[in-house]
Amino acid sequence: MKNLASQIHAFGKALMMPISVIAAAGIFLGLAAAMQNPAVTGDAFANLQVPQLIIGFIRKVAAALFANLPVFFAVASAIGLAKAEKPTAAFAAVIGYISMNVGINATLAAKGLTALTTTPAALQQAGMDQTTAMMTSAEYINMLGIFTYNMSVLGGVIAGLITVALHNRFYTQQLPTAISFFGGRRFVPIVTIVVLPLIGVLLALIWPTIGQGIAWVGQMIGKSGQYGAFLLGTGERLLIPTGLHHILNETVRFTPIGGMATVDGQTVVGALNIFNSSLTHPGAIPDDTVRSATQFLAQGKIPVMMFGLPAAALAIYHTARPEHKQRVKALVLAGALTSFTTGITEPLEFCFIFVSPVLYILHALLTGLSFMLMSMLHLMIGNVQGGAIDLVVFGILGGSKTHWWWTVALGVIYAPIYYYGFRFVITRMRVETPGREADEEPQSTQVTADERTKVIISGLGGESNIEDVDCCFTRLRVRVKEMKEVVDQTLLTTGANGVNRVSEHDVQVIYGPQVEKIANEVKSALGVA
């Protein structure tokens, strides 16, 4: 069970690779959409040929990225979970994904299902009514030139997970001398080519049942309307300490649970995919469909990330003891600015979620309420983070149809609610937020940047105790041999906002956006490529 927990956290970390690229591509796409909107730039600019050609090129690049998301997730899943030889695992994942879809294609062909026989027109000729024909046709897609089931990102994840399981089992496989050249890491792509087509055949047989189940969950959430948005917003925040919120988010963003739409005869599934497709294909998706998708995206986070949490940071600062205010000021100011601009919240959240369940639950419920209210007010702001960048690019520059002003209005209300709510709970329940730690506990002395790497390694139990080092957006993720050797107090002196033990051998140290630099410094010191 403990090993399973470790694998789940590694998988959640792996999902961050494609998401970081998609988030950045989404911002460029949003800017391009705004620059092609005459209401934003004026008719004169919209009619300039060269700028519009450049913007159109940007749209095509972004559209290509979004269209091939399953491949990216297959590769990311394999890299994240491979024990060693990660490049081999990534290479095999691409082969595995293609092979799996070939297996699906062959099974569909045996059933008489091809790209020609599953068009809406062909299905109507076979006796289906128009609506059923369109829905049935939407179950299939051409991916990398292969006619297959439309499994979206889930198909990539399945291929990646099975490939990495084969990789971890066979990358050290030795073969007889005569064929030893094909042993070791070269054996992984070979066994992948053998196994994954068979997995494709199996998937083709059971996918209709799986698809019906996913569609049922999606319909249930869709029928829940704003209450479904509330459950997502609350659940995502509650999962923050575990790191599993990424998996919940990706399920809504890239599967039918987040919605379905049709663009150029192709079905687009998932809230984020729908929103990005609305940017690459202006007018192709009805605004109501886009709004239904964006209720699960950035719009629900903006009042919390831009207004609520910075106000909570101010409350933490004001309730700190006078002798600690300077230290706390530096801590919460950095966290508040990060939350406000980018929507990255862990540096602030880890200041209170482990020391006060009341503040933790209050924050989660207020986030869920924000998601629900933004849905009720018919906002249409997408992307994934929820900071000022998303508000400006996808809200203000998106025009009046986004109803972006409601995020600011709710934010103005949320700021005092968070401030006075946090201040009341901290003072009344004597919560030991930063600067209020018990007097008998020794206060941390922050180390210099030059000393930080050595202290981090020491706090993790020394070089001999560290098995693997990696990071996501805000957390240094480390696998250690003995958890008892990890010293929280030592790690906190390095500027960490918190330490989270997620399994018997996995620990996360929360640093915020600068964690990538810290991870590289630790890897260099350990001699890890």
* pLDDT tens-digit map of 31-57: 676 676 665 566 677 677 788 788 778
How far is it, in rounded angstroms, from Cα 362 to Cα 12?
25
| Residue 415: per-residue pLDDT | 95
Q: Which of 10-24, 135-149, 437-451 has the highest mean pLDDT?
A: 135-149
Smallest CA-to-CA distance from 203 within 245, 236, 165, 156 is with 156
d(CA 244, CA 93): 23
Nearest CA among 297, 298, 236, 302 for reference residue 271: 297
Instruction: Convert the pLDDT of each residue in 461-509 to its tens digit.
Output: 888 888 888 877 678 888 888 888 888 888 888 888 778 887 788 888 8
pLDDT, mean of residues 399-424: 92
Token representation of residue 370: 């924000």
Polymer length in residues for the chain? 529
Only one residue has tokens 């950035």, namely 298
Annotated catalytic residue 351: no
State both tokens at 18: 């494609």
- Residue at token pair 């559209």: 63
Residues 6+ apart with CB under 8 A from 220: 228
**Cα(111)–Cα(466) distance, integer angstroms:** 52
CA separation for the pair 200, 185 (Å, rounded): 23
The token pair at 451 is 């000393």
What 8-state DSSP symbol labels residue 149?
Answer: E
> φ, ψ for residue 268 (rounded to 5)?
-110, 125
Q: Both tokens of residue 52?
A: 């519009």
Mention every residue, 6+ apart, whose C-beta is less than 8 A from residue 137: 118, 119, 120, 123, 265, 267
Give every CB contact of residue 373 below 8 A, 6+ residues apart in sequence. 226, 406, 410
Cα–Cα distance, 158 to 165 (Å, whole number): 11
Query: Using one digit for the tens of pLDDT, what is the confidence trace for 183-213?
Result: 888 889 999 999 999 999 999 998 888 767 7
Is residue 478 within 8 Å of 507, Cβ to Cβ? yes
Determine the pLDDT at residue 442: 44
What pLDDT is stored for residue 259 in this prediction?
79
Least confident residue range of 223-237, 299-313, 342-356: 342-356
Identify whether the C-beta of residue 196 lies closer than 8 Å to the C-beta of residue 100: yes
Mean pLDDT of the residues in the chain = 81
Q: What is the DSSP letter of 255?
A: S
Predicted pLDDT of residue 103: 95
What pLDDT is attached to residue 444?
Answer: 47
* pLDDT (0 to 100) of residue 66: 72
Taking each helix axis as running N to C, give the angle between helix 226-238 and helix 187-224, from 0 to 180 degrees, rounded to the nearest 10.
130
**Residue in this structure with the two tokens 């000729």, named with its chain if needed:** 125
pLDDT for the residue 142: 87
Is pLDDT above 90 for 162? yes
pLDDT at position 399, please?
Answer: 83
The CA-to-CA distance between both ends of the chain, in Å, stands at: 30
Instruction: Look at phi and psi of residue 405 and say left if phi exceeds 0, alpha if psi is from -120 to 50, else beta.
Output: alpha
| Torsion of the alpha carbons at 220, 224, 230 and 234, rounded to the nearest 10 | -20
Q: Which among 218, 361, 353 has a CA at the least distance from the CA of 293?
A: 218
Q: Nearest to residue 308, comparing CAs of 375, 373, 264, 399?
A: 373
Mean pLDDT of 260-269: 77
Q: What pLDDT score does 134 carry?
A: 66
Lowest mean pLDDT among 10-14, 51-55, 222-226, 250-254: 10-14
Contacts of 34 (CB under 8 A, 6+ apart): 40, 41, 393, 397, 398
Helical ranges in 356-461 per DSSP H: 357-376, 388-390, 405-428, 449-459
> Of residues 274, 472, 480, 522, which has the active-site annotation?
472
For residue 340, give the nearest of 399, 390, 406, 294 by alpha carbon: 390
For 404, 456, 502, the CA distances from 498, given in Å and listed in that order, are 34, 13, 13
Helix (H, G, I), strand (E, B) or coil at 476: strand
Write the burial class of residue 508 (CB in 10 Å: 0-12 exposed, 13-18 middle, 19+ buried).
buried
CATH among 3.30.1360.60, 1.10.260.30, 3.30.450.20, 1.10.1060.10 for 449-526: 3.30.1360.60
* CA 340 to the chain's CA centroid: 19
- Retrieve residue 397's tokens: 């520059």
Residue 267, pLDDT above cutoff 80: no
Token digits for 364?
Answer: 């989660």
Predicted confidence at residue 193, as pLDDT, reads 94
Most confident of 46-50, 86-90, 128-132: 86-90
Q: What is the DSSP letter of 292?
A: H
DSSP assignment, residue 118? T
Q: Name beta bridge partners: 61.
A: none
Burial of 6 (0-12, 13-18, 19+ CB in 10 A): middle
Given a cut of 90, whether residue 287 has pLDDT beyond it is no
**pLDDT band, very low/low/confident/very high, at 441 (cuts 50, 70, 90):** very low
Residues 6+ apart with CB under 8 A from 100: 155, 158, 159, 162, 196, 197, 199, 200, 203
The domain spans of the chain are 2-216, 449-526
pLDDT of 360 above 80: yes
Biggest CA pair distance of the chain: 80
